[in-house]
Amino acid sequence: MPSDEAVVQAAAEAAEGLVFSRFKRSAVDDFDVQVTFEDGVLEVDVWIHAPESDVDEETVAEDATLAARSAVDDLFEDADEQ
């Protein structure tokens, strides 16, 4: 079973990775990824401010949230296989 810290780290890394796969770092003025994992409940909130970009910030934030959840699912699947 992964630790709470490992879950939070995996989710945050996946969300950030997705954000910067869609935006150039120089295009992002600010972004925030908040992840909590308490009592088996994962909460992920992603906020992006990239006003100079043609990429839709809200869509990327939603996709980053999904990527974070997927990374956590993978983490638990890998733990179950061991």
- Examine the pLDDT at 81 and tell me if it is beyond 80: no
Q: Is the distance from CB of 31 to CB of 7 less than 8 angstroms?
A: no
Query: How does 13-39 read in b/e, with b if 16+ C-beta sit within 10 Å?
Result: ebbbebbeebbeeeebeebebebebee
Q: Which domain holds residue 51?
A: 4-81
What's residue 57's pLDDT?
96
**How many structural domains comprise the chain?**
1
The 10s digit of each residue's pLDDT in 41-74 is 999 999 999 999 999 999 999 999 999 999 999 9
What's residue 78's pLDDT?
86
CATH code assigned at 61: 3.30.300.100
